[in-house]
Amino acid sequence: MESLFKKFIYTGVGIVSTVNGKFQKDVNEWVAKGKLTEEEGKKVVNDLVNDTEGKKSEYEGKLKDYTEKFLARFDVPTRGEIASLHAKVEELEAKLEAATKKPAPKKRAPRKTVKKEEA
């Protein structure tokens, strides 16, 4: 599930990157044609980049909130909860193994054979 959300975010970042590159190209053409000065072109591009970064952070925050609400709604355990359960299972398995381990049998001393004296 988490990888799906990562792919979704990376796709969004890729789209934004493509749009920014195309926009930069268009602004460069406008500057070359004299529709914008170089300073205006830089300002427009910088404003777009700054706005995009702000929206990216806002979007990631909203996506994280939606994801947490989704997981909570369907009672899906978090990584921390799963890790805690794994640790508890290992602890209980170790205790069980220690409790069921049979002690090594005691070695008996060899029997001495006593020869009966003949009377």
How many Å apart are CA 57 and CA 62, to the nearest integer?
9
How many degrees, rounded to 5, is the angle at CA 21 between CA 19 and CA 23? 65
Distance CA 18, CA 15 (A): 5
Backbone conformation region of residue 75, classed left if phi is above 0, alpha if psi is from -120 to 50, else beta: left
* Cβ(45)–Cβ(27) below 8 Å: yes
DSSP letters for 62-115: HHHHHHHHHHHHTTPPPHHHHHHHHHHHHHHHHHHHHHHPPPPPPPPPPPPPPP
Domain residue ranges in the chain = 2-99
What's the angle, vertex CA 62, arms to CA 61 and CA 67, rounded to 5?
Answer: 100
Q: What is the pLDDT along the chain (119 residues), one digit of tens a residue?
A: 567 667 777 777 777 778 777 878 888 888 888 887 888 878 887 887 788 777 777 877 888 888 788 877 888 788 899 999 999 999 999 999 988 886 666 777 667 666 666 55
In angstroms, the CA 38 to CA 53 distance is 23
**The pTM is what?**
0.39
pLDDT of residue 92: 95
